Amino acid sequence: MPERYRRILVVDLLGGLGDLVMALPVVHALARRNPGAALRVLTHAPGDALLRHDPAVTGVRTAEKGRERAAVAAELDRHPYDLVVSTTRYDDIPAEIEGRGMRCVTDLWRGPPPDEPVSRRYLRILRDEGLVDGYLPPQVQLTPDERARGAAALAEHAPRGRPVVLVPGAGMAVKHWPHWPALARAVAARGEPALVVAGDPAPGPWADAHAHRLPSTDLRGLAASFAAVAERGGVVVGPDTGPVRVAAAVGARTVGIFGPTAATRYGLAEPGTRAVDLQGLPGCPHRRPTAITEQVCWWEARCPLSPDGPACMADVGVAAVLEAVGV
């Protein structure tokens, strides 16, 4: 019979909202294997909000940027954990964990193949360690009241039709897609309401693109709006970024635009879903699917193939995205 653990800590301090979403299958698989365990998560804000109301999670703590190892040490001092699983390798965090003597897994990035999605790779390693069973896709839990407010917010700006929500903000310049206004005009021309996530930068004349902004809200409010999009049969379109992953995790259909990251590793399409991943320049010689931060373009968006920005993102045309939206 597999060993059970009573006090579990999951550490995800990679810094991105999308990173935490990709780690959710780890959290939930550990909870399924260890029913009744006190399972806590250490992560960054604002991603911690995604775990609010999650029945698998006992508690969440956040780490200040730049003080992650200190936060790990403080959490390990605070509770006598008997299992720690970490996605985070920098700043000697693995050594901090390993030095405490409990059962731990501190390298979920070991030997990744270029065609296995990150979340599934995490679970494969933990399964080989005898710690989890099957894989389920990332899921964010919402309350009925949150879902009702999300539906009301969506209806205010798109009372009819199948909403198409655009998420142009990429967080990194290397993931910027240059064709957003053209896509918004094309969606509107088909008679479907085009909505833009509020707070994202406006890469073009949105007022002339017939797109309306969703009202500003917090992360859970945005997730609830995405859930309402799913209920209405709509779709969320965006690059490889956290909000689009949140949309998928609440059940919305997504169209993901991938350039510097490989869709084979970071894609959103799961078996049995209608999600579509579009890969720009699939043969790019500079892409490194298993070492994306080492790519020549990653940090400053300086593309060796184009002086005008990431050629891989520009390579995904409006027609391809529009076709995927209509699937």
CATH of the domain at 311: 3.40.50.2000
Instruction: Determine the pLDDT at residue 205.
Output: 52
Report the 10 Å Cβ neighbour count for 149: 18
Do 299 and 214 belong to one domain? yes
Model confidence band, residue 272 (pLDDT cutoffs 50, 70, 90): confident
Please compute the mean of the pLDDT values over residues 51-66 and round it to a whole number: 96
What's the predicted TM-score (pTM) here? 0.95
Instruction: Determine the pLDDT at residue 215.
Output: 83
Helices (H) then strands (E): counts for the chain: 11, 11
Do 70 and 181 belong to one domain? no
Do 123 and 148 belong to one domain? no
Report the 10 Å Cβ neighbour count for 160: 10
Do 105 and 205 belong to one domain? no
Model confidence band, residue 307 (pLDDT cutoffs 50, 70, 90): very high
Q: Distance between CA atoms of 226 and 154, rounded to whole angstroms? A: 9
Do 122 and 262 belong to one domain? no
Do 267 and 321 belong to one domain? yes
Do 216 and 290 belong to one domain? yes
Distances (CA, A) of 30 to 57, 133, 207: 10, 9, 47
Please compute the mean of the pLDDT values over residues 281-289 and round it to a whole number: 96
Q: Has residue 137 been placed in a domain? A: no
Instruction: Determine the pLDDT at residue 199.
Output: 61
Please compute the mean of the pLDDT values over residues 91-115 and round it to a whole number: 96
Q: Has residue 136 been placed in a domain? A: no
Q: Distance between CA atoms of 104 and 198, rounded to whole angstroms? A: 40
Q: Has residue 191 been placed in a domain? A: yes
**Residue reference for tokens 């897609």:** 177
Q: Has residue 258 been placed in a domain? A: yes
Do 281 and 149 belong to one domain? yes
How confident is the model over 113-128, as pLDDT tens digits?
999 999 999 999 999 9
Do 163 and 234 belong to one domain? yes
Domain that holds residue 320: 144-325
Q: Do 105 and 9 form a contact (C-beta atoms < 8 A)?
A: no
How many domains does the chain fold into? 2
Do 239 and 174 belong to one domain? yes
Do 161 and 69 belong to one domain? no
Model confidence band, residue 252 (pLDDT cutoffs 50, 70, 90): very high
Phi then psi dihedrals of residue 283, to 5 deg: -95, 15
Q: Has residue 274 been placed in a domain? A: yes
Model confidence band, residue 203 (pLDDT cutoffs 50, 70, 90): very low
The answer to whether residue 102 scores a pLDDT higher than 90 is yes
Do 39 and 103 belong to one domain? yes
Minimal CA–CA distance to 194: which of 156, 221, 157, 230? 157
How confident is the model over 11-27, as pLDDT tens digits?
999 999 999 999 999 99
Q: Distance between CA atoms of 277 and 28, rounded to whole angstroms? A: 25
Write down which residue in 128, 163, 183 finishes a domain. Answer: 128
The answer to whether residue 200 scores a pLDDT higher than 60 is no
Distances (CA, A) of 322 to 143, 160, 174, 180: 32, 20, 22, 11
Write down which residue in 103, 128, 153 finishes a domain. Answer: 128
Q: Do 238 and 254 form a contact (C-beta atoms < 8 A)?
A: yes
